[in-house]
Structure 1
Amino acid sequence: MPAKKKPKILHKLPEKFPANEILTDLVGNKWKLGVQIGIGGFGAIYLAIPHLSQSKTNLEYVAKIEPFNNGPLFTEMHFYQRCCKREQIEEWIHNHNSVRKILSLAIPYYIACGSHTLASSQNKYRFLIMERFGPDLEKTIFNPNVHNKCNANLRSMICHIAIRLLYALQYIHEKGYVHSDIKASNIVPGISKSHLHQIFLLDYGLVSKYKFEGEKHKTFKIDNKKGHDGTVEFTSIDAHNGTEPSRRSDLEVLGYNLLRWSVGKLPWETNTFTNNPELVMKEKIKYLKNIPLLMKACFKNNPFPVEIQKYFQYFNRLKYEEMPDYELLREDIFNATLKQTFKINYKDDFFRPSNSSIQVENFKKPPTVVKIPYAKPGKSTVPHVIVKNEPKLNHKRPLILSKSSSNSETDELSEDSNFGGGAPSTSRIPPNKKRHKK
């Protein structure tokens, strides 16, 4: 019997605001609305300027507006207030520059927020003032309808984006939160003079705390009532199971995105799995048991970027409460690919808004052989999905840009495998879902 579809939570959209409506933020500053430039599943986006500004062309801000009783913007506003003040982000960059030079962080600054009652209807709304950004990457370089399969330019760009997002996730995680909804439609280029040619991770409506105030990590607990939260194509196995998301959940969500950006479509993005998150979860479990099979399903018999496979191998070994080694992921996987494959002088300038498109630099074509060491897993290597006959990670062995062929396509779990290494706080597979035989 097919699994029941989880009913969608419907959020009321805001009514249209009149031109030049004045909003007053929490500290008393006033903002004048311009035209509506976007609408989503939860709210609407309007151009906005400070009330006393006389500029009609320098439109640097937008207002994100949702009905007062909608949850996502309430969550997002509090995250911005607690974690995104300019001085907080700049202090973090300063403190981490001793290890690696960081020019910017892909986290937008908090500007203002508040509530507003529309006079014509007396309906109450929340609003968040944000910097104005360019069109999101789902509409531009990662649009699956016009996707150009993995090539040198795209591969280089994905590595750079991964590095930027791993810095952003490290910042979010150190603040005690997880993002939970990483995807191309939530990644945008900056267009202001100070943020030109940089990318930013947006939409914090699904952020949640993974640890309590006393620094204690939340415990692993499956709750089927909360299952399948997030964007189903990228949802982590933990989120599919209704478990509170952890840092490894964000890494997994990012991994599915990196893979999709490389090939344009994930194996579970077909009509077979449409509107059935249970089947999507089973497919993900199947492929996490056999990552070479995942590479073959995505790239067929074509060469594939080995850094993607290494990244999947890494997060697949993380325990539920384990802190990722962000520097290892950035340097030993993605930056190593850039240094040893593309050999370019990188400037973060391929995110150039040009009308509604984004231009890409012409990078050198990568050689066939990529001498990149395997990433070393962390000390704690208990996986949340156990893999049989997976090759050992040997950082001394050079890698070849592999063809997607494997002799382990039919690898199955051994009869005594338990998906969690015997530790209930690390297993992502509930007891009643341990077996998914064809």
Structure 2
Amino acid sequence: MPRPRKNGLPKPLPEGFILTDMMKKKWRLGRMIGEGGCGLIYLAAEDTGRPVADDSDFVIKVEYQENGPLFTELKFYQRAAKPESMQKWKASRKLDVLGIPAFLGSGLAEYNGLSYRFMVMERLGSDLQKICERNGGRLKKETVFQLGHRLVDILEYIHENEYVHADIKAANLVLSHRGPEQVYLVDYGLSYRYCPKGVHKEYKEKPRKSPDGTIEYTSIDAHKGVDNSRRGDLQILGFCLLHWLSGSLPWDAVLKYPLKVHEEKTRLMENLPESVQQLSVKGASTDEVAAFLLHVNSLDYQDKPNYQYLKLLLGSTASGKLDLSAPQRAVEEQCTKEIRNREKVRPAPCDQFVKIYHDRCTAVPYSFLTAGLASAKQCSSHHIWALMIKLLI
């Protein structure tokens, strides 16, 4: 049998398949509910002999055993996200919730001659990317800063436990399965142990190394082939905050060209705060994000960020329900887009008028009827042409 392609999606496992984790607990697979770059996600439940219900509180992520991302993610959870460690951190920081999903188990399995690795997690809800797309690419300013506040808390914990995430983005921010009160940072497949046993990695550029992560938000260090550090994570977060506020980034038009993206990001960081302030949109100043990125820009590779200062810059607390509705301008832009799309598929009133005139009228000269309306075809006041149609009919 041919060896499965490394980092490819695995062949699906059948619904009802039983997996046994390292602690000998048995889990039953339900239906498949999603897939990532290298893995499949299934509903799951502790095996009781009954099918997995659609309201199950657990999921299982499955990849080929030889794949790297799930192995990396498991190592992160085993080293940095132990339940007792997170509880101690929450108590010391007076946090009600720390947005890292609960890890429940892992193991290996065989099916039809193929080897799989799996990880059991708590079930979560919709990701923020879907909500941003529904909102025309933007979120309300208060919501953006609430998210920023919570993410700084999460990143501080991760960093204190010797890891960086390296792929913060809306698609990796997932709401609670039971409601939008809490958001979780997921997918630690690109996480990196930047400070093993308390010794920070050295700054080293590798020009031929392709940047990991998502090109829109990749840190400038990663563009240079440098392994991510704490400042890289926070720069990625700063780019995300800017995108969620303004709905776009200065390098959106060149995403196919990593070198040009790198140049645009460098230009933005070298011209702070004006480069970010000029991206403000109505009702959503980007001054706070400019200040956030200024602090990040002041950090050397091995410097520890001032997390408390960054949260103060955002001027919002992490508590409270997230308002995920669209900003008013985004609503208006979406309505305009929908109107334009409808107009693409229906005849303009002026064209309808011309057709009806030629079909029904011979006595009245066309030039007489349209005198003074030469510019009406270009204007958005189509009611003039609609009125002319009514007169003809």
Q: Describe the shift of the 1:159–1:196 C-alpha distance in structure 2 as closer, same or farther (beyond 3 A).
A: closer
Q: Which string of whole-angstrom CA distances, capped at 9 and with x for unpartnered residues, describes residues 122-157 of structure 1?
A: 1011111111111100011x22x642656xxx1101
Query: What runs of 5+ residues in structure 2 fail to find an aligned partner?
Result: 329-393
Equivalents in 2 of 1:146, 1:360: separation in Å? 5
Q: TM-score, normalised by structure 1?
A: 0.69
Matched, 1:167 2:153: yes
1:176 equivalent among 139, 146, 162: 162
Equivalents in 2 of 1:274, 1:83: separation in Å? 33
2:102 equivalent among 109, 122, 132: 109
After TM superposition, give the deviation of residue 275 of structure 1 in Å: 2.0
Matched, 1:36 2:32: yes
Q: Describe the shift of the 1:156–1:196 C-alpha distance in structure 2 as closer, same or farther (beyond 3 A).
A: closer
Amino acid corresponding to residue 102 of structure 2 in structure 1: Y
Amino acid corresponding to residue 348 of structure 1 in structure 2: G
Matched, 1:348 2:325: no
Equivalents in 2 of 1:293, 1:209: separation in Å? 34
Which residue of structure 1 lines up, in the alignment, with residue 251 of structure 2? 268
Task: Map 1:15-414; keep pairs closer than 5 Å.
Answer: 15-52=11-48, 56-97=53-94, 102-118=95-111, 121-140=112-131, 142-143=132-133, 146-147=135-136, 149=138, 154-192=140-178, 197-213=181-197, 215-270=198-253, 273-295=254-276, 298-299=279-280, 304-330=285-311, 332-334=312-314, 337-338=315-316, 347-350=319-322
After TM superposition, give the deviation of residue 173 of structure 1 in Å: 0.3
Q: Describe the shift of the 1:178–1:148 C-alpha distance in structure 2 as closer, same or farther (beyond 3 A).
A: closer
Structure ID, larger Rg? 2
Q: TM-score, normalised by structure 2?
A: 0.77
SS at match of 1:235: coil
After TM superposition, give the deviation of residue 295 of structure 1 in Å: 2.2
Amino acid corresponding to residue 188 of structure 2 in structure 1: Y
SS at match of 2:19: strand
Equivalents in 2 of 1:18, 1:227: separation in Å? 36
Query: What runs of 5+ residues in structure 1 fail to find an aligned partner?
Result: 1-8, 340-345, 352-357, 363-438
Amino acid corresponding to residue 190 of structure 2 in structure 1: L
Q: Describe the shift of the 1:296–1:333 C-alpha distance in structure 2 as closer, same or farther (beyond 3 A).
A: closer
Amino acid corresponding to residue 68 of structure 1 in structure 2: Q
Q: Which string of whole-angstrom CA distances, capped at 9 and with x for unpartnered residues, describes residues 163-197 of structure 1?
A: 110010000000001000000000011124xx862
Task: Map 1:421-436; keep pairs closer than 5 Å.
Answer: none
Equivalents in 1 of 2:137, 2:77: separation in Å? 35
Equivalents in 1 of 2:6, 2:26: separation in Å? 31
SS at match of 1:206: coil
Equivalents in 1 of 2:23, 2:137: separation in Å? 47
Amino acid corresponding to residue 153 of structure 2 in structure 1: Y
**Do the aligned residues in 2 keep the contact of 1:49 with 1:59 (CA within 8 Å)?**
yes
After TM superposition, give the deviation of residue 39 of structure 1 in Å: 1.3
What do you get for the CA RMSD once the two structures are aligned? 2.4
Equivalents in 2 of 1:309, 1:116: separation in Å? 49
Equivalents in 2 of 1:227, 1:22: separation in Å? 39
Q: Describe the shift of the 1:320–1:87 C-alpha distance in structure 2 as closer, same or farther (beyond 3 A).
A: same
More helix by share: 2
Identity of aligned residues (%): 36
Amino acid corresponding to residue 210 of structure 1 in structure 2: Y
SS at match of 2:259: helix
**Do the aligned residues in 1 keep the contact of 2:164 with 2:229 (CA within 8 Å)?**
yes
Q: Describe the shift of the 1:360–1:300 C-alpha distance in structure 2 as closer, same or farther (beyond 3 A).
A: closer
After TM superposition, give the deviation of residue 48 of structure 1 in Å: 0.5
SS at match of 1:338: coil
**Do the aligned residues in 2 keep the contact of 1:350 with 1:360 (CA within 8 Å)?**
no
Amino acid corresponding to residue 77 of structure 1 in structure 2: L
Equivalents in 2 of 1:38, 1:232: separation in Å? 23
After TM superposition, give the deviation of residue 57 of structure 1 in Å: 4.9
Amino acid corresponding to residue 137 of structure 1 in structure 2: L
